[in-house]
């Protein structure tokens, strides 16, 4: 099982805002979790508290066990 978290900038200056790319990826996931949409551009994602909070939640509560050496 591989859970995947998608974080999407609301004003993506690389792929274009609201281009549907994140939604298309989310729809194809076998084990989806709630995605995160932040304010800002493509290169602003890691500069938001919302991003770090959501990553922490994903890693500690949703990602599942890590199989080291597999």
Domain residue spans of the chain: 7-62
Between the CA of residue 36 and those of 4, 21, 32, 45, 68, what are the distances in Å? 12, 13, 12, 10, 27
Q: Is the pTM of this model over 0.75?
A: no
- Using pLDDT thresholds of 50, 70 and 90, give the confidence band for residue 57: very high
Nearest of 29, 43, 67, 68 to residue 6 by alpha carbon:
29
Eight-state DSSP code of residue 4 = B
Task: Tell me the pLDDT tens digit for each residue of 1-48.
Answer: 688 998 888 777 777 666 788 889 899 998 889 888 887 777 777 778
């Amino acid at each position: 099982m591989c859970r995947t978290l998608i974080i999407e900038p609301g004003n993506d200056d690389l792929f274009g805002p609201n281009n549907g790319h994140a939604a298309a990826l989310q729809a194809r996931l076998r084990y989806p979790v709630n995605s995160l949409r932040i304010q800002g551009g493509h290169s602003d994602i890691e500069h938001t508290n919302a991003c770090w909070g959501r990553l922490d939640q994903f890693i500690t509560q949703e990602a599942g066990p890590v199989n080291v050496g597999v």
